[in-house]
Structure 1
């Protein structure tokens, strides 16, 4: 009996301590006159978010398609086995943009960006392939045990001014990474995603599509993506918005698309903001035989990304999603998306300059 009372007392004390340590987050919502909030109104899906452009399966068409021999070896991609464990060895030369932006690709969708006024931002930081519990399930199942090599020092983490997340999926949004970054940065999220942040006094700004915030001299715009959002197994499908991020300073722009399929939203973005200087576009996770068209509907193929880059007026395109630390969902091999990109660049005679990075590479633009 005494032991039970002691245990109950310890449990109560621990609960009180945790509650005392929990600090409410500070949340602002930025909308504005141009904001777009696209939600279902029918009874079944009421209040959930949806894509701007929705096309039934039987009507879906894409501007370009790789039909055969989509993954030929390339002299600038050195691999241990075909398409696997590779390194790009070609020329890494970007057009002379004088944008003031510099960046480092941390792998998959994670980027560290330095702005012209010296601020440090992180796009979709996930320090590892997945957040918990997917990382635990991944290792328990004994699959995709690929090393995640690019890391940031404690000093680099502490120097972060802002963190921008595109959506909630476990390879793009990480509580573990947020805990490492702490509550000094400002967190920029699409509408509804603040509900999924841990409570620890975080400074959060939620935005709708085509709304913007300012951070020093930097303009931060949330723009549409063609994707979906969820965090739980049930009951939260599309309860929060998703999107891409457009940074603008001194007339120069940098666009991070987030996970997205191809749709007319790319043309919309160009029409609203003009040609984009730097485009960070996904080229992976589109191939899955059993799911038919679904993967491609919400993920750009390499040829989709090339078409999108042309429609965006990209002065340089930096692809992401492939790589030795990639988790290869829906991909044939670690570098098959890159091989297909280089192949389709020639096939489509694309004039958009490509800057191909290996995980961990940095570039001044």
Structure 2
């Protein structure tokens, strides 16, 4: 009896600690009730979950065992990454201006408004603080540094793209959120006004009051905030139109015909913000592998690549700077230009490309 009382007591303490640090809340909430009924009527929602355009059985077989594998010594940088301190409230935007915060977090300043994409300012990934820590030098921007946000764009519900602690701080500074189908349930659970959330299915668009036009396009990925519930919400890439400029944001996606289809329908693009990093044989189909980022840009008819999904967290077993070192020669071979700013360094379309090698250390 004492043994079971002790176990129950320990479980209660762990649960209290989890609630206290926001772990339970950060796990979010899957769609239910009327919203679930709305999802079940969609053509890409079948048998209780969303599906990719073409399904593969090998996409998640090994991923749960990633952290049991050996890792190279260069998986994290040996010292702090260089960064630039920018006043985000005074950015000029004669053309779209992009500021990268590491991984896939971006601020895009346009004449039609401020766009914030997949922001992670908690300096870690996942429901448990400190488990997957950000690299040194990537932790100098915070929610408090952001200007008023005209539109928040979320690509999918994975913890490295949808961060509870960041959005809790930003909630009252966001005019509108554009998310894939079902992800609105997480935001409502976290206190967002449902009237300020727009859910899009693939190929659906919205034009915001300032004139920004945002279209959700297919991605080849998956969704889940626990292993018990997979693909209950949609994942997406996005086409962003600001006046005459067209930008593409990949979110997380494996390679496939979808890039050529998006390029034919919505391209050419002035800039493609493309996943480059966290690739692994553990997920051969749901992330771009080496060489595929450059080819995806060609398929999209993109004039310029800016790599994302690298430079902040360890989520796969490759050296931290391998993605950019492999991307550059692959892009040169295919005739695609690459822009690689430092964290926090603004780049305005049409300016001189940021090509200084700042990542050459281990």
**With structure 2 as the length reference, what TM-score do the two structures score?**
0.71
Matched, 1:214 2:207: yes
Deviations 1:264-300 (A, max 9, x none): 1101111211211110001111124xx3xxx231110
How many angstroms does 1:178 deviate by?
A: 0.8
Query: Which residue does the alignment assign to 1:159?
Result: 148
Deviations 1:185-211 (A, max 9, x none): 111110011111234243211110010
Uncovered stretches (5+) of structure 2, i.e. residues with no partner:
1-34, 36-41, 60-73, 84-92, 350-362
Partner of 1:222, secondary structure, is: strand
Aligned partners of 1:277 and 1:147: how far apart in 2? Answer: 29
- After TM superposition, the structure 1 = structure 2 runs for residues 66-215 of structure 1, keeping only pairs within 5 Å, are 85=79, 100-117=95-112, 119-131=113-125, 133-138=127-132, 146=136, 148-152=138-142, 154=144, 156-185=145-174, 186-197=176-187, 198-202=189-193, 203-215=196-208
Aligned partners of 2:138 and 2:163: how far apart in 1? Answer: 15
Structure 1 pair 301–150 and aligned structure 2 pair: CA distance change class (3 A):
farther
Aligned partners of 1:353 and 1:37: how far apart in 2? Answer: 37
Deviations 1:246-279 (A, max 9, x none): 1112232111100111011101111211211110
Structure 1 pair 56–179 and aligned structure 2 pair: CA distance change class (3 A):
closer
Instruction: Judge conservation of contact 2:80–2:135 (CA < 8 Å) in 1.
Output: no
Aligned partners of 1:259 and 1:187: how far apart in 2? Answer: 19
Query: Which residue does the alignment assign to 1:354?
Result: 338
Matched, 1:296 2:284: yes
Aligned partners of 2:223 and 2:262: how far apart in 1? Answer: 21
Deviations 1:53-97 (A, max 9, x none): 234559xxxxxxxxxxxxxxxxxxxxx9997558699xxxxxxxx
Uncovered stretches (5+) of structure 1, i.e. residues with no partner:
1-28, 30-35, 41-45, 59-79, 90-97
Deviations 1:134-190 (A, max 9, x none): 334447xxxx77553240463x43511111110111111011111111234111110
Aligned partners of 1:303 and 1:258: how far apart in 2? Answer: 17
Query: Which residue does the alignment assign to 2:55?
Result: 54
Aligned partners of 1:317 and 1:219: how far apart in 2? Answer: 21
- After TM superposition, the structure 1 = structure 2 runs for residues 19-34 of structure 1, keeping only pairs within 5 Å, are none
Aligned partners of 2:80 and 2:334: how far apart in 1? Answer: 24
Instruction: Judge conservation of contact 2:105–2:117 (CA < 8 Å) in 1.
Output: yes
Query: Which residue does the alignment assign to 1:230?
Result: 224
Structure 1 pair 83–242 and aligned structure 2 pair: CA distance change class (3 A):
same
Question: Aligned Cα RMSD in Å?
Answer: 2.9
Matched, 1:279 2:275: no
Structure 1 pair 188–356 and aligned structure 2 pair: CA distance change class (3 A):
same
4+ aligned runs moved over 6 Å, structure 1: 80-83, 86-89
Aligned partners of 1:114 and 1:255: how far apart in 2? Answer: 15
Query: Which residue does the alignment assign to 1:338?
Result: 324
Aligned partners of 2:94 and 2:53: how far apart in 1? Answer: 30
How many angstroms does 1:331 deviate by?
A: 3.7
Larger Rg: 1
Aligned partners of 1:331 and 1:182: how far apart in 2? Answer: 34
Aligned partners of 1:277 and 1:240: how far apart in 2? Answer: 30
Aligned partners of 1:129 and 1:199: how far apart in 2? Answer: 19
Query: Which residue does the alignment assign to 1:305?
Result: 293
Query: Which residue does the alignment assign to 1:76?
Result: none
How many angstroms does 1:233 deviate by?
A: 3.2
Aligned partners of 2:247 and 2:266: how far apart in 1? Answer: 11
Structure 1 pair 265–258 and aligned structure 2 pair: CA distance change class (3 A):
same
Q: Greater shift after overlay, 125-134 or 213-222?
A: 125-134
